[in-house]
Amino acid sequence: MIDAKPTAAPAPRLWPGLVAMTALQALVSLALFAPGTVAPRAGLSVEELSLFSTAAFAVSLVSSFWGGTLVQKVGSLRVAALCAVAVCAGMSLATLGNGWALLGAGLVLGLAAGPETPASSALLGRLVSPEKRAMVFSIRQTGSQIGAVIGSLLLPPLAVGLAPSSAYAAVIACAVIGFISFERLRPAYAVKIPAMPNLGLRQRLQLVSSDPRMASLAVASIPFSGMQVILNTCFVSFGTSELALSHVEAGWVLASAQGAGLMGRLGWGVVATRLRSARAVLVMAGVGMAVCALLLGLWGAMLSWPILLLLAFLFGLTASGWNGVFIAEIANLAKPGRVAESTGAVLTVSFIGLVAAPPLVAVLTPRVGLGGSFVALGLTAAAGAAVLLMERSHARN
């Protein structure tokens, strides 16, 4: 346990902690998607990008299992600082510029991507009342899109104007600032952390499979997650190789998609509230990302600039904006007192999409191109939406 604050000390404020945890997610997101945004200038192939993403998310899955234990021992802000160190190390490896170094960068970044969610949940969960928890966690979830938007807008110009290594150096600079900020905030949030549930892989899968509604949600999240990671990782390469866009233009189009994803993470919750059905919103998101992927993969090169931007916006709105409603639906289905366990269990299944989609695209792209890969993933996303729709119909009957 870390040292507790005196009982007479005032409760720490919510907003500095929320800003810090949102910034942590933005930093990790920025690092994870940096290679994809500089790939054309750095000469990185789809295979190399796929290995990087697979390594990062495979390690993050493993590290997420002991993230809660680490939070108990050193505290959320110290974990955040360690994540910033991992980002510095990973981006330093990436600056070497070869495929093996990029693979090593992915392995190291996985050590940051796994523990950051348990660290944020432990800190924010005790700072906010239950009735405000959904909104606070939704705000925190926008960190992923904030990091992606910043990376899409700023890193391609740095790579083109200077060198790919300068883009990685910019991420390292952000990580150093983050490390200093997290360490300065740490004393204000040093409290004893209660024991967190620590489920193994078998227990997590049993928890998911015990409820058909939870199981269908988990299965649908696999192709949804795969579509999201490929949009973020491979779109800039797709834009320059098959859509006749410049490197910077491809970054702008991706930024449009990521900005829409940020809006979706908040806006889809409003839609789900009005429809009184988070599952219906997830079905719409699955159909939407499938249609966008098919249109982009089959006819993207024929689209005008305004139509391409609009399609990218809708693509990001669906493929990157579904996560908040997804987590809310897990919370609705979870048994009382088991929200954290259920969320971790379903997200474990979701990681299959994050890990499997990049090598699938690496296999498909030499044969059908990146456009064909988007079409294939679009079909899997449609299948995920169908799973949700069929389970919903079965539940009604």
pLDDT in tens, 88-103: 999 999 999 888 999 9
| pLDDT of 8 | 44
Q: Say yes or no: 351 and 384 in one domain.
A: yes
What are the tokens at 93? Answer: 């490896």
Phi then psi for residue 3, to 5 deg, are -65, 140
Class of residue 205 by CB neighbours under 10 A (exposed 0-12, middle 13-18, buried 19+): middle
Q: Say yes or no: 162 and 243 in one domain.
A: no
| pLDDT of 84 | 97
Out of 177, 195, 213, a domain closes at: 195
Enumerate residues 6+ apart whose C-beta is below 8 A from 301.
242, 243, 244, 371
Out of 195, 228, 258, a domain closes at: 195
d(CA 335, CA 333): 7
Q: Say yes or no: 230 and 187 in one domain.
A: no
The pTM assigned to this predicted structure is 0.84
Total domains in the fold of the chain: 2
| pLDDT of 5 | 44
Longest dimension (CA), the chain: 66
Out of 195, 224, 247, a domain closes at: 195
Q: Say yes or no: 177 and 206 in one domain.
A: no
d(CA 201, CA 184): 35
**pLDDT tens, 322-381?**
887 887 788 778 776 566 667 777 878 888 999 999 999 999 999 999 999 999 999 999
Q: Say yes or no: 235 and 116 in one domain.
A: no
Q: Say yes or no: 75 and 215 in one domain.
A: no
d(CA 153, CA 363): 29
Give the domain extent around 59. 1-195
Q: Say yes or no: 173 and 285 in one domain.
A: no
Q: Say yes or no: 189 and 202 in one domain.
A: no
Looking at beta carbons, which pairs linking 123-126 to residues 24 or more positions away fall under 8 Å? 123/17, 123/21, 123/76, 123/77, 123/189, 124/14, 124/17, 124/18, 124/21, 125/340, 126/191
Q: What is the DSSP secondary-structure string of 270-321?
A: HHHHHHT-HHHHHHHHHHHHHHHHHHHHHHGGGS-HHHHHHHHHHHHHHHTT
**pLDDT tens, 156-202?**
999 999 999 999 999 999 999 999 999 999 888 876 655 555 556 67
**pLDDT tens, 31-86?**
999 999 999 999 999 999 999 999 999 998 888 777 767 877 888 899 999 999 99
Q: Say yes or no: 266 and 314 in one domain.
A: yes
Q: Say yes or no: 52 and 86 in one domain.
A: yes
Please, are residues 391 and 221 in contact by the beta-carbon 8 Å criterion?
Answer: no
The enclosing domain of 56 has a CATH number of 1.20.1250.20
Q: Say yes or no: 383 and 241 in one domain.
A: yes
Q: Say yes or no: 382 and 301 in one domain.
A: yes
